Amino acid sequence: MKILPSNEIDYSENHSKQQVSSQISGPPTPRFLPVPSESVLVPNDKTINILLLGETGVDKSIFINAFANYLTFDSFEQAESSEPIVIIPVSFVMTVGDNFEERIVKFGELDRFDNENVNTLGQSITQHCKSYTFDLKRNEDDNRRKVRIIDTPGFGDTRGLDQDDQNMEHILQYINNVTHLNAICFLLKPNTSRLHIFFRTCLIQLFSLLGLTSSNNIIFCFTNARSTFYTPGNTASLLKTMLVSASMDNISFKKENTYCFDSEAFRYLVALQNGIPFADEEKEEYQMSWSTSVKESNRLIDYINKELTEYRIENEWQTIKHAQFEISYMIRPILETMRNTLRNIILWKNTLNQFIKLNAKPLHSRATRCLSCKGDLEQVAEFWIFSTRTHTIEKNGCLMCMCSLDQHVTIDYALSYTRLNITSDDVQNAMVERLTALSHASVEFAHFLIHTAYSTKDDPFLNGLVEMIAEETYTCEIKISNNFNKQLCEELSKLANEYEQRMNKKKSIQENINLPTVYKFIKIISEYPVVHEQIIAVKKRHRMMIEEYEYEVQKM
């Protein structure tokens, strides 16, 4: 078996042609992601996407490895004689011999993203969402489908509920950028004494994004079930009680959507690779465990194929959480469009018949912008404009500067600027109307984020305007020929004052915008060409990050 990053599989040829050459001198140049075709950005609709959720310590990573083996090998004997599929590095303790000697069993290498934290007890082993794909065997129609399992950070992290909330927010952002889910799988242990308090919160937050109809796609899987004779055990009553108390009776918990597995057969296969001997009677037990788990794996896939309707993420459903994410993608595009519109209005007023066009390109996954470091200034149509200078964050800090990590913010795309000539007399009116519409929409969006979605206490649009004013003020201080930047600074200050007045007026009315109106604003503003191009860059980077964190199993 060979595990390859799926981005190397899907467009390795294009990737090699589009490698960005390193700069020998001068400031760091933004490293743009190769933009794959739309067919690469949108996963194959035939792929079965399974979102896997569960408490920290429930062994999701072990389960994924075992599940892949159960669905790949034709028999236990074939699995024994082959190298096991280990798509996620594993580490566990096994007791051997009459003296109960403890042996640490490890198999698989940490990948380039260090997604698996196998050495820190109590913390979620999986540090961020990552997906793994492998082929199913051909069915009776001679068709082959892929399974994509989306591995997620576990809830119940020892770092506390705040970390659980952060992990869940990351999970929701991740699935907001996939095309569909076939199943939402909760992995549990059958002999638990209580369900973690965050289990209910996880369901509530999941529905806050996907809506209640997604409950039809929920399935329950129990691992380590050999000890309870492959039943849900004590956990069944706890789960039923929780669903009733949380008024989630619409979530089915029956035989048809419940599956009991045991991962001991997989541990056995890995232990063989580590040279651990086993008695014949032990081998027989593992073989029985293998047979039962294979049957359950096939039953699960059959249920998904025949009984479940895939949940399309891209459908035009409306939830507060989804609107929050859509607005978050628009914050920088709106702010940059307003600033550049002001530049073009100033150029028009000075009868220069010039126009500055924005161009957006998605950046790599670890690209950030340092709030303390300044980029280089370039002159475009009389304006001094800071070029995008990206900083790359690694484990130990920033590779470009010594500033603290809290001074670095994620950046989805880099902007470049092109000067054009214009002659139309209708341009100014159109620019003024666009600026007014963007400013009004920004107030509605910010009010929604703060008072409806409760996703922030600060106003991201006002903060962005303040930062732009500071940037233009700094430009005027270091450049002598700064007349146009001074005008821009003054216009941005006026825009910020008008914005605050609108926001204060809206607060005084004490009326929250309703969800359909929010989506109406999202649709209108996102269709503005300049905003639209930047949003496309944001979403392309998010989709490509999904592919960056995806690995595919290939049979050798």
Q: With pLDDT > 70 as the criterion, what percentage of the chain qualifies?
A: 86
Q: Residue 32: its pLDDT value, please?
A: 41
> Of the ranges 237-246, 420-429, 465-474, 512-521, which one carries the lowest mean pLDDT score?
420-429
pLDDT digits (tens, 9 = 90+) for 181-197: 999 999 999 988 888 78
Q: Which whole number is the average pLDDT over 386-399?
A: 86
Q: Which whole number is the average pLDDT over 82-99?
A: 86
Q: Residue 28: its pLDDT value, please?
A: 37
Indicate whether 5 pLDDT > 50: yes
Q: Which residues contact 99 (CB under 8 A, 6 or more apart)?
A: none
Q: Do 120 and 157 form a contact (C-beta atoms < 8 A)? A: no
Q: Name the pairing type of β-strands 180-181 and 311-312.
A: antiparallel
Coil, strand or helix at 357: strand
CA dihedral over 51, 122, 203, 317, signed as positive or negative? negative
Q: State how far the Cα of 48 lies from the Cα of 46, in Å rounded to an integer.
A: 6
What is the DSSP secondary-structure string of 220-236?
EEESSGGGGTSS-TTHH
Q: Residue 180 corresponds to which tokens in the numbers above? A: 């569909």
Q: State how far the Cα of 307 lies from the Cα of 97, in Å rounded to an integer.
A: 46
| Displacement of CA 169 from its chain's centroid (Å) | 9
Q: Residue 45: its pLDDT value, please?
A: 62
Task: Categorize the per-residue pLDDT at 64 as very low, low, confident or very high, splitting at 50, 70 and 90.
Answer: very high
Q: Residue 3: its pLDDT value, please?
A: 53
Task: Categorize the per-residue pLDDT at 12 as very low, low, confident or very high, splitting at 50, 70 and 90.
Answer: very low
Q: Residue 170: its pLDDT value, please?
A: 93
pLDDT digits (tens, 9 = 90+) for 322-369: 999 999 999 999 999 999 999 999 999 987 788 999 999 999 878 899
Q: Residue 390 corresponds to which tokens in the numbers above? A: 């990206």
Please, which residues bridge with residue 4 across strands? 552
Measuring CA to CA, which residue among 166, 196, 169, 153 is closest to residue 60?
Answer: 153
Q: Residue 5 corresponds to which tokens in the numbers above? A: 């990053």
Q: Residue 126: its pLDDT value, please?
A: 54
Q: Which residues contact 166 (CB under 8 A, 6 or more apart)?
A: none
Q: State how far the Cα of 12 lies from the Cα of 5, in Å rounded to an integer.
A: 10
Q: State how far the Cα of 521 lies from the Cα of 206, in Å rounded to an integer.
A: 24
Q: Residue 425: its pLDDT value, please?
A: 67
Q: Which residues contact 403 (CB under 8 A, 6 or more apart)?
A: 370, 371, 372, 373
Name which residue leads in pLDDT, 544 or 300: 300
Q: State how far the Cα of 377 lies from the Cα of 373, in Å rounded to an integer.
A: 13
Query: What are phi and psi for residue 365, nearest 5 degrees?
Result: -65, -30
> Of the ranges 4-13, 258-267, 319-328, which one carries the lowest mean pLDDT score?
4-13
Q: Residue 548: its pLDDT value, please?
A: 86
107, 113, 116, 119: CA torsion to nearest 10:
90
Q: Which whole number is the average pLDDT over 244-253?
A: 92
Q: Which whole number is the average pLDDT over 297-325?
A: 91
The b/e string for 504-514 (b: 16+ C-beta within 10 A; e otherwise) is eebeeeeeebe
Q: Do 303 and 256 form a contact (C-beta atoms < 8 A)? A: yes
Q: Residue 118: its pLDDT value, please?
A: 44
Q: Which domains does the chain have, with CATH numbers?
A: 49-130+152-317 (3.40.50), 320-547 (no CATH)
Measuring CA to CA, which residue among 266, 274, 308 is closest to residue 290?
Answer: 266
Q: Which whole number is the average pLDDT over 36-58?
A: 70
pLDDT digits (tens, 9 = 90+) for 126-177: 568 999 998 887 666 656 689 999 999 988 777 877 888 889 999 999 999 9
Helical segments of 4-118, H only = 6-17, 38-41, 60-72, 76-81
> Of the ranges 123-127, 193-197, 235-239, 389-393, which one carries the lowest mean pLDDT score?
123-127
pLDDT digits (tens, 9 = 90+) for 492-520: 999 999 999 999 999 998 888 899 999 99
Coil, strand or helix at 446: helix
Name which residue leads in pLDDT, 388 or 415: 415
Helix (H) / strand (E) containing 289:
helix 280-307
Q: Residue 141: its pLDDT value, please?
A: 61
pLDDT digits (tens, 9 = 90+) for 104-131: 888 877 554 454 444 443 444 456 899 9
Residue with tokens 């609709």: 45
Q: Residue 147 corresponds to which tokens in the numbers above? A: 């399974």
Indicate whether 437 pLDDT > 90: yes
Q: State how far the Cα of 488 lies from the Cα of 370, in Å rounded to an integer.
A: 23
Average pLDDT in the chain: 86
Name which residue leads in pLDDT, 88 or 260: 260
